[in-house]
């Protein structure tokens, strides 16, 4: 009897010592986008918010907190209340590349955030000006190697995925091309159409209408494989540029101290939202491929992205100045 009593007391003590499951917040949940309204990251957040609201029975709002390469909004979530009332909708440029380009601009995303789930990939397309007179990758590489330093590539700004895709391409292909940054993908595309720059890695949905109109030529996509949105376009890697793959991704993060139960519940809701066929179709209409992952998979993916981009950024001597 005494043994049984001791066992019961021990069990009771263990239950009391066990932390209570974190309650889902009873206040509105904010999805913080560190970019201006209207961009691809913002659009993904605004598609996702009402779906999560329906699944979780909680009010969701999207807040754009812009500035300093995305670091203002990012830091606000990292340093805010870790109670499930605030999440960060981030991107490759903001979450991996800019912290390397501008060290100290924000808390280290690898330690400041817990991954919730990937959300979307927007394929980048290697797009060339018609004035080059090239129609395929061998022709482009031959031209760039024959005329080193005479050709330029455009991007939507310093330190972003379009810029670093160009730097990685130059390294992997062994070519010398000059970076020309613009204030957004639209102006970069305009000068590419006009022949002021030779090539660019642009968001596929941005480049495609001009390519279909015959104003530029898309040679390849920058991902590990062909895009499901345009499977007839080959990847850069399959055309002979080895060890080249760039993903322009968007993902959802929580402050690192957020209770795991909340992170897991949000991750499950995101998975349910993004695997819904109408939602997948809506993403495809916008040129994005919906993508989901577990929190652990996303944390590992972010660490791998830092391993990829740190040496590229250092070698290319890219800084925020």
Contact (Cβ atoms closer than 8 angstroms) between residue 239 and residue 134: no
CA pseudo-torsion sign 128, 134, 136, 137: negative
pLDDT at 319 over 90: no
pLDDT at 87 over 50: yes
Q: pLDDT at position 23, please?
A: 62
Q: pLDDT at position 37, please?
A: 85
Return mean pLDDT, the chain.
Answer: 89
Q: pLDDT at position 160, please?
A: 87
pTM of the model: 0.83
pLDDT at 123 over 50: yes
Cα(144)–Cα(152) distance, rounded to whole angstroms? 10
Q: pLDDT at position 21, please?
A: 42
Rg (CA), the chain: 22
pLDDT at 236 over 80: yes
Percent of the chain with pLDDT over 70: 93
Residue 287: band (very low, low, confident or very high) from pLDDT cuts 50, 70, 90: confident
Cα(76)–Cα(68) distance, rounded to whole angstroms? 12
CA pseudo-torsion sign 304, 165, 188, 291: negative
Q: pLDDT at position 288, please?
A: 87
Average pLDDT over residues 188-213: 94
Q: pLDDT at position 4, please?
A: 42
Q: pLDDT at position 183, please?
A: 81
Residue given tokens 């999207």 in the structure block:
62
Q: pLDDT at position 22, please?
A: 52
Q: pLDDT at position 6, please?
A: 46
Average pLDDT over residues 84-99: 94
Q: pLDDT at position 19, please?
A: 37
pLDDT at 2 over 50: no
Region of poorest pLDDT, from 4-18, 135-149, 235-249, 306-320: 4-18
Query: What is the CA angle 63-69-72, rounded to 5?
Result: 50
Q: Residue 190: CA atoms inside 13 Å, Cβ hemisphere, count?
A: 8
CA nearest 106: which of 79, 124, 87, 138?
79
Percent of the chain with pLDDT over 90: 69
Fold designation for 124-239:
D-Maltodextrin-Binding Protein; domain 2 (3.40.190)
Superfamily in which the 29-122+248-316 domain is placed by CATH = Bordetella uptake gene, domain 1 (3.40.190.150)
Q: pLDDT at position 197, please?
A: 98
Q: pLDDT at position 321, please?
A: 59
83's tokens:
């109670």
Q: pLDDT at position 70, please?
A: 83
pLDDT at 9 over 70: no
pLDDT at 223 over 50: yes
Residue 148, Cβ neighbours under 10 Å: how many? 11
Q: pLDDT at position 153, please?
A: 98
Domain boundaries, the chain: 29-122+248-316, 124-239
Tens-place pLDDT, residues 16-42: 333 334 567 788 999 999 988 887 889
Higher pLDDT: 29 or 105? It is 29
Average pLDDT over residues 109-133: 96
Tens-place pLDDT, residues 130-186: 999 999 999 999 999 999 999 999 998 888 899 999 999 999 999 999 999 988 888
Q: pLDDT at position 108, please?
A: 95
């Amino acid at each position: 009897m005494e043994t049984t009593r001791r066992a019961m007391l021990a069990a009771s003590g263990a239950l009391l010592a066990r932390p209570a499951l974190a309650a889902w917040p009873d206040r509105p949940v904010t999805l913080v986008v560190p970019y201006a309204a209207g961009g691809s990251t913002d659009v993904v957040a605004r598609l996702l918010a009402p779906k999560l609201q329906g699944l979780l029975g909680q009010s969701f709002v999207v807040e754009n907190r812009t500035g300093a390469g995305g670091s203002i909004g990012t830091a606000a979530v990292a340093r805010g209340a870790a109670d499930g009332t605030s999440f960060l909708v981030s991107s490759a440029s903001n979450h991996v590349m800019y912290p390397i380009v501008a060290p100290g601009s924000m808390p280290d995303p690898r330690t400041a955030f817990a991954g919730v789930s990937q959300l979307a990939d927007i394929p980048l397309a290697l797009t060339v000006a018609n004035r080059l007179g090239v129609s395929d990758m061998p022709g482009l590489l031959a031209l760039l190697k024959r005329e080193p330093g005479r050709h330029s590539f455009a991007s939507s700004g310093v330190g972003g995925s379009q810029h670093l895709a160009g730097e990685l391409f130059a390294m992997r292909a062994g070519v010398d091309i000059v970076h020309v940054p613009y204030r957004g993908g639209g102006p970069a595309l305009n000068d590419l159409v006009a022949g002021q720059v030779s090539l660019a890695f642009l968001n596929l949905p941005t480049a495609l209408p001009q390519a279909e109109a015959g104003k530029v030529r898309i040679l390849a996509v920058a991902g590990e494989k062909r895009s499901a949105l345009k499977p007839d376009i080959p990847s850069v890697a399959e055309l002979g540029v080895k060890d080249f793959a760039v993903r322009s991704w968007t993902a959802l993060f929580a402050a690192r101290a957020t209770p795991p139960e909340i992170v897991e519940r949000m991750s499950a809701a995101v998975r349910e939202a993004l695997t819904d066929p109408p939602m997948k179709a809506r993403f495809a209409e916008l040129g994005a491929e919906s993508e989901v992952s577990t929190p652990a998979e996303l944390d590992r993916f972010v660490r791998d992205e830092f391993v990829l981009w740190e040496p590229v950024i250092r070698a290319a001597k890219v800084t925020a100045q």
